[in-house]
Structure 1
C-alpha cells in the first residue's frame, strides 16, 4: 500500500507542473489563501489522492499536508512544488526529529477517542507504567518479533524481560497493510471476532493455522482508517501517550527507555 502511495506521489510533481500552465498562479495568490491555493493545486494535479488540510509547517514558507496512509508533504505557498519526508533540527549534539505540536495534539485527541474494545490488549501482571498502542498486521515479520517479546523471551541464550515485564501495556490496533479486503484483513477480523482475541492473535502471530471466521461487529476498518489519519504507512507503528508516532519496531528495553520508565 505504501509503495503504491509513493508511486502515485512520484508523478504528483509532474502533475503539479502541468497544472501550473493551466492556472493563473498570480491571480490565485491574490484572491485566495495559500492553504486554499495549495489544496486546489494538489487536488487538480492528482484528484484520486486524498489530501489533508494544509497548515503552516515548522519551516517558514512551507505548508504541510498529510496524505492519509502516506507521507507528509511540505508544499510551497504557490502550490507548485513539494518535498515528501521528515523535518530534522540541527543541534550542537547532532540531528533530532521535529515533531509538529499541532499533529501531536491531534493525535492525542484521536488517542483519547479510541474505545476499549477497539484494541486487543496485553497487560502487565504488575503495575502498568505506560500504555503504547501498536498498529499491527498479521503478515509482518517485525510485528511477529514484537509479539514474541510481550513476555520474557530468549535472546542468544539469555532470558530478557518483555514489554509486559517492564510495565508496558501493549494495545494492538489493526492495520492490514494489504488494505481491506485482503487475506491479512480477514485474519485480523477473525482475531477480533473470536471468543479469545488475544489467544487467536497470538496463534496467528506464531503462524499457526486458524480458520477464518468473520463477523460484522469488528473494528478493523475503523482502526485502519484511524491509522491513515494519524500518518501510519507501515507496521508495526508505535503510538505513544504524548501523541508521538514511531514507525518500526523497538526492543522492550529500548521502548522502556523511550517512554522514560
Structure 2
C-alpha cells in the first residue's frame, strides 16, 4: 500500500540525518513473491540490466519490509521505474537519486506514471482467473470492470444495489474481495462465507443488503484477492479498474461509469 511506502521512505531519510543506519536486513516474504517479482522484472526490463538491478537494490535497502514487484526502463531518460505495493518510484541508473511523484509528458498531455501503473495492474489482474471471481454481467457486455469490494463498505453496498443498472449500461462487474480490516476480521469471515455458499451471487447480494449469510468455510481466493489488491495499491473500497488496468475511481453511478469507460476506450483507440 502506498501510504506505508511513503511513510517508510520519509522515515529513512529523516533518520539518516541524525543517526547511523541500523540493520536493514529484508524481512521474509511469501514464497511466491520473489519469483513473481523476478518474472515481472524480466518481462518488463529491456534495457540496462545493471541499472535495473541497481534500482531494485536501492529500493529494497530503503524499504526492506515491502517486496519490489517490478523494475522497468522509465520513460524519463536515465531512470528506472520501480513498482512497490502500487507505488511507482524512479531511481537513477547510477542509483544516486530517487524520485517519487508523477512524470507528465507535457507535449502529449499524458501522465506517464499512471500509464506505467496501469501496465502492472493489468498484469496482476489478468493473472487472476475469472472463475475465482463473482461475476454480474449482461449477456453481451461492452465493458468489464474489476471491483475490489468489502462486504461491510457503505459505497460497496450502494454499488451493488445498482448492479442491474450497471449491467443495463453494458458493464460487467467482476468482484474480488478486499476486506479492509485484513484477514482476521468479520469482513474476511463474511467474504469467505459468501464464496463458500452454494449460490455465490445470491449470497453476495444478501450480504451487501445486510442480511445474514450462513457461516461456511472452504478453499477460497479471499487471501489471494487481498494480496493482489495490496500489490496494485488498493487503499479503499470499492476500487474499480477497467480492462486496461486504469483505476477509474471508487463508487461511480452507472451512467457516469459508462461514460467514463467509453471515454477511456476512445482515448485508447485514438492512441493506436
> Structure 1 residue 170: deviation in Å?
0.4
* 2:149 aligned residue: 136
Change (3 A) 1:33 1:170: same
> Structure 1 residue 163: deviation in Å?
0.6
How many residues are aligned here? 237
TM-score by length of 1: 0.75
Distance 1:71 1:197 in 2: 33
CA-to-partner distance for each residue in 1:18-59, whole Å, 9 max, x for gaps? Answer: 99989xxxxxxxxx8222222222222332121223222222
- Listed as ranges, the matches of 1:207-226 within 5 Å are 207-215=210-218, 217-226=219-228
More helix per residue: 1 or 2? Answer: 2
User: Which one of 75, 91, 95 corresponds to residue 75 of structure 1?
Assistant: 91
CA-to-partner distance for each residue in 1:199-255, whole Å, 9 max, x for gaps? Answer: 22222222334343222x111112222223344333222221223233423221122
CA-to-partner distance for each residue in 1:93-137, whole Å, 9 max, x for gaps? Answer: xx653366665455444444332321111122x532222111112
> Structure 1 residue 257: deviation in Å?
1.5
Distance 2:15 2:69 in 1: 18
**Residue 178, structure 1, aligned to residue 181, structure 2:** yes
CA-to-partner distance for each residue in 1:77-96, whole Å, 9 max, x for gaps? Answer: 3435434343344359xx65
Q: Quick check: 2:88–2:117 contact (8 Å CA) kept in 1?
A: no
Change (3 A) 1:204 1:48: same
Distance 1:5 1:182 in 2: 24
> Structure 1 residue 165: deviation in Å?
1.1
Distance 2:91 2:15 in 1: 14
- Listed as ranges, the matches of 1:190-209 within 5 Å are 190-209=193-212
Q: Quick check: 1:136–1:175 contact (8 Å CA) kept in 2?
A: yes
Change (3 A) 1:78 1:251: farther
**Residue 115, structure 1, aligned to residue 132, structure 2:** no
Change (3 A) 1:84 1:208: farther
Unaligned runs of 5+ in 2: 23-48, 266-272
SS at the partner of 1:127?
Answer: coil
Structure with greater contact order relative to length (CA < 8 Å, sep ≥ 6) = 1
TM-score by length of 2: 0.72
Change (3 A) 1:247 1:257: closer
Distance 2:19 2:77 in 1: 24
Q: Superposition RMSD on alpha carbons, in Å?
A: 3.2
Distance 2:110 2:194 in 1: 38
Unaligned runs of 5+ in 1: 23-31, 152-161
Q: Quick check: 1:133–1:239 contact (8 Å CA) kept in 2?
A: yes
* 2:70 aligned residue: 53
Distance 2:185 2:100 in 1: 28
